[in-house]
């Protein structure tokens, strides 16, 4: 849906101008093939350019600061607002609901011919208002502070506590709107009972249709090196030492939707850094999927080779779980570029 929204925005110059006005940009000048504007009333009117042709990603060139970023990332950085605020404003200006992309094209003959020889891959994703978090105590959790998730990180990711189930909670957000898709809970007590898993969904949702930390850190992810890890907790830990270009699958298996979302970030390279102890074949399947969706793009695919460090054998740790210093060691000594060969 995010890709579709951008394509719709770039073909509607009036909507693009309204968006710039909403976020306080000045001296907006529409031309045949571009829009020029200034950051504020004191800025030069030619400093910022948005091309209206061959620009499906709605890329913004800021000549004054020497940057080139997509419209969402640009507004987030310039105005200090979050992903959800920018996307929500775009949707409002364009008159789009969260599910417009699913409804925008009516299938021929009720979709009968679309079903021949193919699966129906359209999945409806339900989202919830921020008020669903009101039922939880949003005080930072001591257990996770000890685990390396700072108070600032817990506040950033809306970590809270469910008194009834005695679980630490955090929302999983849509990668395309930033709205809450589900709420996950981590046991805050010890038990050996198999029927009492460490993580459960207190509000259910489809994790395979999103990526944790995608909307939260979109500005740090777009056009950057993107790290892909298993657990949401790893992304929260890394936030504490200033690394935000990390997204979590919520499992060790990459879905097609998640692969598409990663590639929509226009990454310079992708690093698959799944937990220690996982068979490499699982990592390679994920890399193959990324390759299949990026066949016409020159994107470097890398992975964390945990066998290069025998000291972590059997720990099942992620690349961020042992702190900033160890993460730098992973970056400098334990990454390998994947040689895809033939798929």
123 pLDDT band, cuts 50/70/90, is confident
- Taking each continuous run of H as one helix and of E as one strand, the counts in the chain are 12, 14
pLDDT tens digits, 254-281: 999 999 999 999 999 999 999 999 999 9
Alpha carbon 98 to its chain's center: 17
Q: CA 18, CA 90: separation in Å to the nearest integer?
A: 9
What confidence tens digit (pLDDT) does each residue in 39-71 have?
Answer: 999 999 999 999 999 999 999 999 999 999 999
Cα–Cα distance, 266 to 239 (Å, whole number): 21
Distance CA 45, CA 238 (A): 39
H/E stretch holding 83 reads: helix 83-94
For the sheet with 59-62, list strands across it. 26-30, 34-38, 48-51, 59-62, 67-70
**Tokens 């600061």 belong to which residue?**
65
What is the chain's length?
Answer: 343
Which tens digit of pLDDT belongs to each residue from 82-110?
A: 999 999 999 999 998 766 544 444 444 44
**Residue 120 — pLDDT band, cuts 50, 70, 90?**
very low
Instruction: Tell me 307's DSSP state.
Output: G
Cβ pair 157, 236 in contact under 8 A: yes
pLDDT at residue 291, as a whole number: 93
- Residue 317 structure tokens: 């740790």
């Amino acid at each position: 849906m995010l890709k579709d929204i951008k394509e719709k925005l770039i073909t509607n110059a009036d909507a693009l101008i309204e968006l710039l006005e909403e976020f306080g940009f000045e001296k907006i000048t529409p031309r045949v093939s571009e829009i020029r504007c200034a950051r504020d009333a004191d800025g030069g009117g030619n400093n910022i350019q948005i091309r209206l042709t061959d620009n499906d990603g709605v890329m913004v060139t800021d000549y004054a600061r020497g940057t080139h970023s997509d419209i969402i990332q640009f507004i987030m950085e310039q105005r200090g607002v979050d992903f959800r605020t920018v996307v929500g404003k775009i949707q409002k200006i364009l008159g789009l609901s969260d599910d417009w992309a699913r409804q925008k094209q009516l299938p021929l003959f009720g979709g009968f011919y679309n079903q021949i020889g193919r699966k129906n891959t359209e999945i409806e994703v339900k989202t919830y208002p921020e008020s669903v978090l009101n039922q939880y105590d949003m005080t930072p959790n001591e257990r996770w502070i000890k685990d390396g998730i700072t108070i600032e990180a817990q506040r950033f990711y809306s970590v809270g506590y469910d008194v009834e189930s005695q679980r630490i909670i955090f929302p999983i957000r849509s990668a395309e709107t930033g709205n809450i898709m589900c709420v996950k809970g981590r046991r805050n007590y010890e038990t050996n009972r198999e029927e009492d898993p460490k993580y459960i969904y207190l509000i259910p949702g489809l994790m395979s249709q999103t990526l944790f930390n995608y909307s939260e850190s979109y500005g740090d992810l777009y056009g950057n090196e993107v790290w892909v890890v298993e657990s949401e907790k790893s992304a929260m830990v890394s936030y504490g030492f200033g690394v935000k270009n990390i997204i979590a699958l919520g499992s060790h298996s990459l879905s097609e939707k998640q692969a598409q979302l990663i590639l929509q970030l226009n990454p310079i390279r992708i690093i698959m850094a799944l937990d220690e102890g996982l068979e490499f074949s699982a990592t390679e399947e994920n890399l193959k999927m990324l390759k299949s969706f990026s066949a016409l793009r020159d994107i470097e695919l890398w992975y964390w080779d945990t066998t290069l460090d025998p000291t972590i054998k059997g720990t099942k740790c992620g690349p961020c779980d042992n702190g900033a210093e160890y993460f730098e060691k992973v970056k400098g000594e334990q990454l390998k570029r994947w040689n895809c060969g033939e798929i």
